[in-house]
Amino acid sequence: MRSPRVPEMATQEVQPNETLTHLKTESDTLKTKLEEERAKLHDVELHQVAEKVDGLGQFIMKTRRTLKGHGNKVLCMDWCKDKRRIVSSSQDGKVIVWDAFTTNKEHAVTMPCTWVMACAYAPSGCAVACGGLDNKCSVYPLSLDKNENLAAKKKSVAMHTNYLSACSFTNSDMQILTSSGDGTCALWDVESGQLLQSFHGHAADVLCLDLAPSETGNTFVSGGCDKKANVWDMRSGQCIQSFETHESDINSVRYYPSGDAFASGSDDATCRLYDLRADREVAIYSKESIIFGVSSVDFSLSGRLLFGGYNDYTINVWDVLKGTRVSILFGHENRVSTLRVSPDGTAFCTGSWDHTLRVWA
């Protein structure tokens, strides 16, 4: 379409606006095309295909261990690969390493800030990473000498311009992936503290991230206050897929064990399942009676069960394929803020604003 004739002088002013309009139109066209392409392949619902699968029986899961010691809300926890140790972090500024079998505390570190919102165990089991309102992610090597002051060996790795919301080691102790209230995710070299890659695309705070199972390659998923879940290529920094179906903040994202899908939990009181190869949401886990937000989600080892920790103090257990709830677990006396299944799938651990952690099996 030919642009209307305008006087020579005004052309410089008009052109940027015209290009902007062009781009807006192309952007809208692409969005519509995306929806159409996705809709074409939406030939059936997951729960319909799953009708022929056997239903699940009754589940009896109970609290088997209660870990007491934090002085304030527990905000995050992670399992060690040895399947028995747990690291947890709290609003009280403390990071504690527990032996979940015996409930003994093995290490404790006091951070210089309160609200330690993120913590992670290194794959080797020899270090933990944590951070929060200090806008940093720091790594503490774990010493076998109980008398050694861990804080002295602290290494500052990541620096964001707002709070650290989540962190995870990649498949070695050498790199850490972080997400932040500054709207970005970043990949860091632990030894040098160097920024290796940054990931821009969220329009608001990023609240959570999860790395794809190592067999499926170098990607990770993040969720944010912009209601989007983004899948990223770790090498290029490119966002390769984006999903926006939640109606509120996404507090937690977790890959399905095969790496072909991921689940999310949101303040909109639902959990959802997104299939990466179909490039769309394929299930919603919700009930009219569930009105409080989901803070964290994780799958059982086979991917058949999805555990969700909720702000109404409960844990709901969902049949991933059929979309139905199979169990509701009570025990915590305040919000469940964090939930992870153990590496060998024998148990899962929850952390709560009631200051405790519970191990369920």
For residue 359, state whether it binds another protein (rule: CB under 8 A): yes
Contact with another protein (CB under 8 A) among 105, 154, 155, 304: 304
Cβ-contact 54, 97 below 8 angstroms: no
Give start and end residues of each alpha helix (H) in the chain: 11-40, 46-49
The interface region with another protein, picked from 46-54, 140-148, 217-225, 262-270 by CB under 8 A, is: 46-54
Contact with another protein (CB under 8 A) among 106, 303, 325, 343: 303
Nearest Cα residue to 85 out of 73, 102, 71: 102
Neighbours of 79 (CB within 10 A): 21
The interface region with another protein, picked from 69-77, 94-102, 164-172, 330-338 by CB under 8 A, is: 94-102
For residue 53, state whether it binds another protein (rule: CB under 8 A): yes
For residue 361, state whether it binds another protein (rule: CB under 8 A): yes
d(CA 327, CA 318): 7
Bridge partners of 265, per DSSP, are: 252, 271
Bridge partners of 74, per DSSP, are: 90
For residue 235, state whether it binds another protein (rule: CB under 8 A): no
The interface region with another protein, picked from 25-33, 108-116, 135-143, 164-172 by CB under 8 A, is: 25-33
The DSSP string of 265-296 is EETTS-EEEEETTTTEEEEEE--TT--SPEEE
For residue 344, state whether it binds another protein (rule: CB under 8 A): yes
Q: Which of residues 99-128 bind another protein (CB under 8 A)?
A: 100-102
Cβ-contact 199, 222 below 8 angstroms: yes
For residue 23, state whether it binds another protein (rule: CB under 8 A): yes
- Helix, strand, coil fractions of the chain, as percent rounded to 5: 15, 45, 45
Q: Smallest gap, in angstroms, from Cβ of residue 301 to another protein? A: 4
Binding mask 250-289 for another protein (x = CB under 8 A): ------xxx-xx-------------x-xxxx-x-------
Cβ-contact 119, 130 below 8 angstroms: yes
Nearer to another protein, 115 or 299 (CB): 299
Sign of CA dihedral 153, 158, 159, 163: negative
- Enumerate binding residues for another protein (CB under 8 A): 16-17, 19-20, 23-24, 26-27, 30-31, 33-34, 37-38, 41-46, 49-50, 53, 56, 59-61, 64-65, 84, 100-102, 201, 238-242, 256-258, 260-261, 275, 277-280, 282, 300-305, 320-321, 341, 344-348, 359, 361
